Structure 1
Amino acid sequence: MLQILLIISVILLSAGGASAQKKYDPGVSDTEIKIGNLVPYSGPASSYGIGGKTHAAFFKMINDNGGIGGRKVNLISYDDAYSPPKAVEQVRKLVESDEVFLVFQTLGTASNVAIQKYLNQKKVPQLFVATGAARFGDPKHYPWTIGFVPTYRAEARIYATYIDQNHPNAKIGIIYQNDDFGKDYLLGLKDVLGDKYGRMVVSEVPYEVGFPTIESQVVAIKSANPDILIDITTPKFAAQVIKKVAELGWHPVHIVASTSASIGAVLKPAGMENAQGILSAYYQMDVTDPQWDSAPGMKAYRAFLDKYLPDIDRTQSAPFAAYNASMVLAEVLKRCGDDLTRENVMKQVTNLDLALDTLLPSVRVKTSPTDYFPIEQLQMMRFTRDHWQMFGPVIDTHLD
C-alpha cells in the first residue's frame, strides 16, 4: 500500500511540475496563439493591405506544417483605413474582445502613435511596427513597443550623405507627409546637412494624407527650380509625384523614400519609363532583381507565393517585407517555448541576432534591451530598366 501511495505521489508531483513549465498570458492556450494586426485595407494607403494578406498566408503555411510548438497561430487582422481613431477602436477590440496575445506589424506612423500608449499601459507587446519612425524604438518610455525596419531619420541621413558627397552645391526641393513620418526624414536630412540645409533647400512642401492628389504641390516645388527632389510619400502619392514630374518635363535627381520603392505598387502605376534613374535605399533583396533568383531565401519565398498567394503582383515589395517580419515573429514565438507570457516575448524580442537569407548580405536582425531597432543597415539603389540596382556599401544607420 505504501509503495502504491509513493508511486501516486510521484505521478502527481511530475504532473504538477509539467504543468508548471507552461506559462500562458491571454491569447494563448495549449492549442492556439492569438495575434492581432491592423492594416489599411481601405483608405489612402490601401496598397499596403497586401501586407496583412501576406501575414495571414504565412501563418496559414505555419499552421499547415503543425503550427508553433504544436499551437496554431490565429491571426486576427482588421482594417484601420490608415485612420488613427479607427486604429484605436480596432486595437481595443483586439485586446479587450478578441483577447490577443500581442499586436503585430500594425502599419503607419500615425496609427501606431495612436495606439502606442494604450498598448504600453496594458503591457501588450506592440511588435515590429510597420513604420520607421524613431519613436518606436524608445525602451525607456515605451518598453512594450519595438520597431522593425531602419528608421526614417537614419534613412534620410544616407540620402543627405549621398547629396553632400555627390551634389554639394545642389538646390533641393522636398515634398513630405505632414506627420511624424515626413518630419523624421527632415530631421535626418538636417542631421547631415546641418547649417547647409537652409541654404540648399529652396522648397519644402508638406501634404496631408487626406488629399486626393498632390500634383499642385509638385508644381509648386518645380517653380523653385531645385536640382534634387526628395520625395517623402506613401505609394499612392509617390506614383502621382513620379508621373507629374515626367509630365512637367522636369529631370531632377529624384530620391524616393523606401516606403514607396515598390515596383508593383508605385513605379508601374507611375509608368516605368518615368521612373528611370530614381534613387532610394533598402535592406532586403529586390524581388525583381535577377541576381537573387538562385538565393535560397528567394526560392523559398516564391514557393510560398506559388502555394499561398498565387495571384498577387510579384513585383511588389510589401509582401516580401511582410513575409520577412512574419519569419522573425515565428522565430520569437518558437524561442518562447511553453513560456508564452508577454514578458517572455519581450525578453526574446530584445535579444535577437538573426541572419535572414532574404535580406541583403551583411544585414542582420539584431536587438538588445537598450536597442529596439532590429534592422539598421541600408544600401543605396537606382532604378534601371525594370529593376533596382544596388550600389555603394551597405551602411549602418544606427541612431546615437
Structure 2
Amino acid sequence: MSRRRGGASGRNGRAGDGARSAVQMHREWLELVDAEGPFLSVPVMTELYPQGMPALDRGPKEALHRAKPVFDAAWDAWDQAQDKGPALQKYRRARDTWVRIILTEVIGWGPHYAAAADRPVFAETYRVRSDGIHTVTVAPTGALIRDTGDATTVGALVLVVDPAASLRELCDDGWAAGPIDRMGAMLRATGSTCSIGLVTDGRWWALVSAPRGGATASGVVDAQTWVEEPATRNAFIALLGVKRLLRGAEKDRLPQLFADSVLAAEEVTEALGTQVRRAVELVVSAISQSITDTVRHGRPDPLPDDTHRVYEAVVTVMMRVVFLLFAEERGLLPTQELYRIGYGLAGVLDGLETRARDEGEESMDGTYFVWHRLLATSNAVYHGAIWGTCACPPTAAPCSTPSVSAFWAPPIPMAR
C-alpha cells in the first residue's frame, strides 16, 4: 500500500503561506505540460517540494545555454528545408548530441546513461513488435542504468525519434501507435522492470509512466520554451534526476509519485461526491422549509407533485456548479473580464462571504442574484453566446440543459 500524501502542506504537516504559494507554483508549471492520463498531481508535488521546484544549478544551466542555440538552428534548418532527406541526416546528428547533453549534463545522468547499442541484452528485453502482416520493431535508444554487483537497475527508458508534430501522433511506418504509445508498450514488455520512460525528438520531450496493470500517463513539454519558462524546465529536470529514479527513498521516487497521484485523484473524487451529497441534502431541506412557509401563508405550492423531480433538479444544479467551476479553473470558458464580471462563478463565494460579514447573513435572505447568474451562465454555456469580442461557444453539456429542471425558472432568451 503506498503512502498517502497530504494536501497543500509540507512534510511537517503545517499548511502556511509557503505551502499555499507552493500549490500555486506547482499548479502553474503543471498547466504548461500537455498531460494525458493520471499525470502528477498538485498535492503530491506540493508535499514533495513544499518550497516549489528547485532551480537549475549553475553548471547544468550553462551546459543548457551552450547547447540550445546549436540545436535550435538545426531544428529551424530541418523545418525550413525543401528536401527533407539530407536535412534530416544533419538534424539527427545535432539532435543526438543535444539529447546526450541534456541527459548526461543537464539532467545529470552522467555515466549512468547507457546507449542500447552498448547493451544488446537490455535492448532485446525491451524490444516490442507490432501486430499485422508487416511487423514493425522498436527498441529503446538508451536508458538510465545502475549496475551494482550482479544486479542491474533500470531507472528509465529513453526513445529518441525523428521530428514529429506531436509525440502522440501515429508514425508512418505502418504501426498504428505513436512514440508515446510505443514507449508504453516497451515499459510493459514481458521482462520489464521499469515503468518510467522518456520520449523525445529533440524539441518535444515526453515523460511517460506505464506501470504494469495501471493506466498510462504522459506529459509533454517543449524544449524551445526552456529559457522563457524555467519553472516547467526545472520541474522536468528535477523529476528525471537520478535521485527520483534510482537513489532516493522508494516513497519519493517517480513511480511512487505517479501512484500517489492516482490515489490523490481518487480521494478528491470521493470527497467531492460526499460534498455534493451533503449540499443536495441542505438544499432539499431548505426548499422543504420554504414551501412549508409558502403554503402556510396561503400561496400555491410552485413545485411539481412528483418529489423525485425536485431531488433530480437539485442534483442537476449541484453538478452544474461543479461542471462550471471545473471548466473555469481549467480555462475552458472565456477568460475575458466581461465574462468574469457578468457570468463567472469562481469568485462568487468570496463575494457572498464578504457580504455576509459586512451586512449580516439576514440581508442575504431576499437576494437571488447568484441563482440568476447560475441560470444565465448555464444557458450561455449550453446555447453559446457572444458579447462583443467575448465569445462562449455552445457545448450542449447535459448538466447545463435548461429543460432538465424547467420548473426552476423559465428559459432565458440568448443574445447572439
Report the TM-score, using the length of structure 2 for normalisation: 0.23
Greater strand share, structure number? 1
Q: Report the structure number with the largest CA radius of gyration.
A: 2
Report the TM-score, using the length of structure 1 for normalisation: 0.24
| Larger RCO of the pair (alpha carbons < 8 Å, separation 6+) | 1
